[in-house]
A and B are shown apart, each in its own frame.
Chain A
Amino acid sequence: MTTPLLEVRDLRIALDAGGRSHDAVGNVSFSIGRGETFGLVGESGCGKSITALSIMGLLRSPLSLAGGAIALDGREIQDLPAADMRRLRGKRIAMIFQEPMTALNPLSPVGRQIAEMFVLHERASWKEAWERAEDALRQVRVPSPERRVHDYPHQLSGGMRQRVMIAIALACGPDLLVADEPTTALDVTVQAEIVDLMAELCAAKGTAVLMISHDLGLVANMCERVAVMYAGRIVESQAADAIFAHPRHPYTQGLIGSLPLLSARSRHGRQKLREISGVVPSIVAYPPGCRFNPRCPAMTDICARDVPMAESLPDGGLVRCHHHG
């Protein structure tokens, strides 16, 4: 077996609050091959974003890496000195964020923010870097890039800002793009365009994508494999087609069943949506055993007692449930 581009093994992230350390993320393992698109799905607070930040080496207090390994091309990067990590970030792994307005520097023209990448990572001269910045804007289909390079972020629309973020992220041809809810702040028709653009550029350059989202539909369309997180654990991962056709974990089943999907009413008439009872548990009070047990329709005694182990599925996925289907 070839070495995957990114391998996350048994990742643990601790949150320090009120003098205690809480287990925010644990037992998280997954790998992403070269050029592969991988989706990490979950609700707010499930740990998907901090998993992404840990890969970027950007965890800051009160969050910290408490264990596990993150390997890029087989080389562990979780303990790299800050200066080495800085060289990696932007060059080999890049990230785009949900809110482009807060991720961009408001005091610097967007062209400069793109050009900086070439100066820092490829030792280009500023003159050359500005020219390449214009090209980069053209690639993300910003109209009249020769004028737009001089614009400040506030002069651009939300969709244009996210295009600039993509241009910055892909400037140095990274091997892995981490996209954390890249289109959540955008309108739906604009979201569709940005997703298509990202998919197209990454496919053309062979960039692997780790897509983080709460939107199952989006991830299903964009990714080849999907992992579902709940309360700091991966509860299920499968090929995207399989996870929607045959979800194994009761949480995944519940999520998919609870969505009012387009054209469901045309086909089946209006039916009451399937609810997942209860609420997402708080990080300071995760239930013992399986963390989904208080909300689970298949819950039995063992679920409240024993933490379920990850079980491999025949077609390469995994599920973490005592009673999985």
Chain B
Amino acid sequence: MADALLELDDLAVHYQVGSRFQGGVKALKAVDGITLDVKPGECLGLVGESGCGKSTLALAIMGLVAPTRGVIRLEGRALGARPDRMETARTVQMVFQDPYASLNPRQTVRRTLADPLRLHGVGDKAEIEARVADMMARVGLRPEHADRYPHEFSGGQRQRIGIARALILRPKLVICDEPVSALDVSIRAQIINLLMELKDELGLAYIVISHDLGVVEHVSDRVAVMYLGRIVERGGWREIFENPRHPYTRALIAAIPDPFRRSAATADRKARGEIASALDPPPGCHFHPRCPLRADVCATQAPALEPIADGHLAACHFRDRTG
């Protein structure tokens, strides 16, 4: 797989939490053994609920938290224990969920976009100016707004600034962490369409992290579903949405209220109870206490992520059951 842009090999990030004096130090296994790759120009959807480790995974790829185990390879080169942030930043960038919190309120749009260029050695003023203007046009911001501050923009426009900032260094991979969930419903389509256009124009690869399965289905080429630090299923978008094999994937799909599909038909697929704490995940398959298919084996043995068909894998003892 030499052509992969990003490769994760058995990646794990464990946090030490608690104190030696109060109940002892525990390992929180936020990401626990993830193998995954993203090819150039591809969009990988990453789905999961709170505590599943998707944001930690993003931070690890960005080089912002150190892996406890495993390897991250960007364009074939392994990131070391203390990766060079500058180098990583030229390849991987991130768009954050909250465009209100992720922009510096005291910097104009021009400065927000020009600073990364200067930091990365683009010295020529005219070139900086041209690239800032070009990027603003690409994301649909008016060039005369370059000297405005974030508070002068609406939520949707702020997210456009966030996208421009992520793209200004011409990265190859952009991690979009819940890119539309903080926006008004009537604005979301604009931003999703923009992301898809930019992907085609600039040949970008995306990792789109979202709990909104409608968004994930719309944008993804491949999808990975995470639950409590592990990938429980991954495959092409069609396999995941049309033929999901892990009961958790089915429960997620069944839980989405859809105006054109009443919930009664999917009641038997829903998950019971609540997500366990990542500090103290259930033994065996982490999902077993909530699973409609659980059997004795699920509480004792963690199922491995194994293939069902070419490129479609699920970590379930009953992955061959289609119902």
Question: Using a CB–CB distance below 8 Å, which chain A residues touch chain B?
Answer: 43-44, 157, 159-160, 187-193, 195-196, 214-218, 220-222, 244, 251, 254-256, 258-266, 270, 272-277, 279-280, 295
Task: Please list 7 pairs of residues, one from A and one from B, whose beta carbons are closer than 8 Å in the complex, sorted by A's number.
Answer: A189-B49, A189-B255, A258-B186, A260-B212, A266-B242, A272-B193, A295-B186
A157-B275, A189-B49, A265-B217 are known; give 15 further A-B pairs, CB within 8 A: A189-B275, A189-B290, A192-B270, A192-B271, A220-B257, A221-B257, A258-B189, A261-B259, A262-B241, A265-B218, A265-B241, A275-B193, A279-B154, A279-B184, A280-B186
Q: Which secondary structure dominates where chain B touches chain A?
A: helix
B184 touches A43 (CB 8 A): yes
A190 touches B275 (CB 8 A): yes
B283 at the interface (CB under 8 A from A): no
A262 touches B253 (CB 8 A): yes
The smallest beta-carbon distance between A263 and chain B, in angstroms, is 7
- Residue on A nearest B253 in the bound complex, by CB: A262
A275 to B190, CA, bound (A): 6
Question: Using a CB–CB distance below 8 Å, which chain B residues touch chain A?
Answer: 49-50, 154, 156-157, 184-190, 192-193, 196, 211-215, 217-219, 237-238, 241-242, 251-263, 267, 270-275, 290
Chain A residues with CB under 8 Å of B271's CB are 189, 192-193
Chain B residues with CB under 8 Å of A263's CB are 217, 241-242
The smallest beta-carbon distance between A86 and chain B, in angstroms, is 34
Chain B residues with CB under 8 Å of A218's CB are 257
Residue among A218, A275, A295 with the highest chain B CB neighbour number at 10 A? A275
A266 to B272, CA, bound (A): 28
Decide yes or no: A216 and B259 within 8 Å by CB, A189-B270, A275-B190 being known contacts. Answer: yes
Chain A residues with CB under 8 Å of B255's CB are 188-189, 191-192
The smallest beta-carbon distance between A231 and chain B, in angstroms, is 11
Chain B residues with CB under 8 Å of A260's CB are 189, 192, 212, 214-215, 217-219
A114 to B257, CA, bound (A): 30
- Residue on B nearest A261 in the bound complex, by CB: B214
Decide yes or no: A43 and B253 within 8 Å by CB, A157-B274, A262-B213, A262-B214 being known contacts. Answer: no
A258 to B275, CA, bound (A): 31
Chain B residues with CB under 8 Å of A222's CB are 257
A195 touches B257 (CB 8 A): yes
Chain A residues with CB under 8 Å of B259's CB are 216-217, 220-221, 244, 256, 261
A195 to B258, CA, bound (A): 13
Decide yes or no: A187 and B49 within 8 Å by CB, A43-B184, A217-B256, A265-B237 being known contacts. Answer: yes
The smallest beta-carbon distance between B176 and chain A, in angstroms, is 14
B258 touches A261 (CB 8 A): yes
Q: Which of A188, A195, A255, A265 interacts with B252 by CB under 8 Å?
A: A188
B258 touches A193 (CB 8 A): no
A13 to B116, CA, bound (A): 47
A274 touches B50 (CB 8 A): no
B254 touches A192 (CB 8 A): yes
The smallest beta-carbon distance between B226 and chain A, in angstroms, is 13
Residue among B211, B251, B260, B270 with the highest chain A CB neighbour number at 10 A? B260
The smallest beta-carbon distance between A214 and chain B, in angstroms, is 6
The smallest beta-carbon distance between B158 and chain A, in angstroms, is 11
Q: Which of B49, B215, B258, B267 interacts with A217 by CB under 8 Å?
A: B258
B189 touches A276 (CB 8 A): yes
The smallest beta-carbon distance between B214 and chain A, in angstroms, is 4
Decide yes or no: A273 and B256 within 8 Å by CB, A44-B184, A190-B275 being known contacts. Answer: no
Chain B residues with CB under 8 Å of A190's CB are 49, 274-275
- Residue on A nearest B277 in the bound complex, by CB: A157
A318 to B139, CA, bound (A): 38
A187 to B154, CA, bound (A): 27
* Minimum-distance CB pairs A-B, first 6: A217-B257, A192-B255, A220-B259, A258-B189, A260-B218, A187-B49
Decide yes or no: A266 and B189 within 8 Å by CB, A188-B255, A260-B215 being known contacts. Answer: no
A263 to B217, CA, bound (A): 8
A279 touches B156 (CB 8 A): yes
- Residue on B nearest A282 in the bound complex, by CB: B154
B263 touches A193 (CB 8 A): no
- Residue on A nearest B237 in the bound complex, by CB: A265
A261 touches B260 (CB 8 A): yes
Chain A residues with CB under 8 Å of B275's CB are 157, 187, 189-190
- Residue on A nearest B153 in the bound complex, by CB: A279
Chain B residues with CB under 8 Å of A255's CB are 185-186
- Residue on A nearest B266 in the bound complex, by CB: A192
B252 touches A273 (CB 8 A): no
A217 to B254, CA, bound (A): 12
Decide yes or no: A262 and B186 within 8 Å by CB, A187-B49, A273-B192 being known contacts. Answer: no
B185 touches A279 (CB 8 A): no
- Residue on B nearest A245 in the bound complex, by CB: B260
Q: Which of B154, B193, B274 interacts with A160 by CB under 8 Å?
A: B274
Q: Which of B157, B185, B219, B274 interacts with A258 by CB under 8 Å?
A: B185
A274 touches B189 (CB 8 A): yes
